[in-house]
Amino acid sequence: MSTEPEKTKGGAAAPLTGLTVIELGHSVAAPFAAQILGDLGARVIKVENPAFGDDARRWGPPFWEGEAATFQALNRNKLSVTLDIKDAGDLEKLRALMAGADIIVQNMRPGLVKRYGIDAEAIHAINPVVIYCNLGAFGEIGPLATTTGYDPLVQAFTGIMSVTGEAGRPPVRVGPSIVDQGSGMWCVIGILSALLRRRETGEGCVVDTSLFETGMSWMTVPVANALAAGREPGKSGSETPMLAPYRAFMSKDRHVVIAAGNDNLFVRLSQVLGKPDWPQDPRFTTNADRVNNRVALNEAIEAITVTQEASYWVAALDKVGVPCAPVQSVSEVLAHPQTEALEIMQRTPDERLNLVGLPLRFNGSRPRIASRAPSLGSTDIDALLAPRAQASAAE
């Protein structure tokens, strides 16, 4: 086990090289957290049930190279070992593996790690410097502490669905799994903070987060608006409630999001739309005026934007510095030259899969994908434990 991250040679962006991560994870949140750590250079050992592995392996169609596309997208740069924690011998192997880890990430069903003696307290007794990260559904305490949860349930429970979509329409979830992936990111933020603290103190740490807390974090602004206004924020479609105009408008061929977020930008937008008098209209003079009269303003803008194609408005608005963007499909995003320029899409080493890379660069270098998602149990647990056993014997 290493106590300090290292940098790989040649300027490669792998600042966590030398650290070992044990992932007791399934589905999205914990696997996403561990994948980020793996992308940053850590050795990630994913522990799976030998009978069926991570549930996400079967989340399809679509399937890609023998596994669900979802699983492939969340489990690159990892090793997979299979252990049945109900088996005494396998449980001892898992404890030995955890004894040599720098970081542990777990999102097992509430109470399981405690039942099998692999909770933070038990592991700190044999590995006092480990960073142990618990990722639950509703947190470690409170009336829902033992309740399981998934991304859409928490989007519903935390109010995200109450502000997503259009007024008068049924609830919808935000398309990407923002609660799951956001929770994974909070795990990483907490783990990296704990690693910095360990460097100063030599002490391990327990990091706790949950899907519920992440959902509440995403609701930071809507909650503040609700408390300040004394009423529910409600749904606003593509719009931002406290700015206008700031939404998707229909053009002749597709929607274009226009974000004229201050008075100066509104003046420029008005000129492009052929309405230079709008900023003097008392309904539209300030942002507060425009928010209060957003229905009339939005209708007036869309009556103009539908007369030209999206490309026309994007070019005209870009020219005067008004932020805007066409609503693109996934295939259009992938084909866009900006995507190519940033090299955010990366191939696995066997060049058979394209995956979204880590959205970070270090000194201009983006961490590369070292390996695709592992097949179930493709790494021999005994081979991983052998160096530690030999070191113990030598002592």
For residue 6, the 8-state DSSP code is B
For residue 17, the 8-state DSSP code is B
Q: Cα 178 to chain center, whole Å?
A: 6
380 is catalytic: no
Token pair listed for 370: 């070292």
Class of residue 124 by CB neighbours under 10 A (exposed 0-12, middle 13-18, buried 19+): middle
Closest CA to 55 of 28, 19, 80: 28
Catalytic, out of 39, 54, 119, 180: 180
CA dihedral defined by 363, 105, 180, 83, rounded to 10 degrees? 120
Phi, psi of 207 (to 5 degrees): -105, 130
Please, are residues 179 and 218 in contact by the beta-carbon 8 Å criterion? Answer: yes
For residue 358, the 8-state DSSP code is -
CA dihedral defined by 153, 156, 159, 161, rounded to 10 degrees? 130
For residue 362, the 8-state DSSP code is B
Q: Which residue has the tokens 């850590």?
A: 42
Please, are residues 291 and 266 in contact by the beta-carbon 8 Å criterion? Answer: no
Beta strands 255-259 and 324-326 are antiparallel
Token pair listed for 201: 């103190």
Active site residues: 180
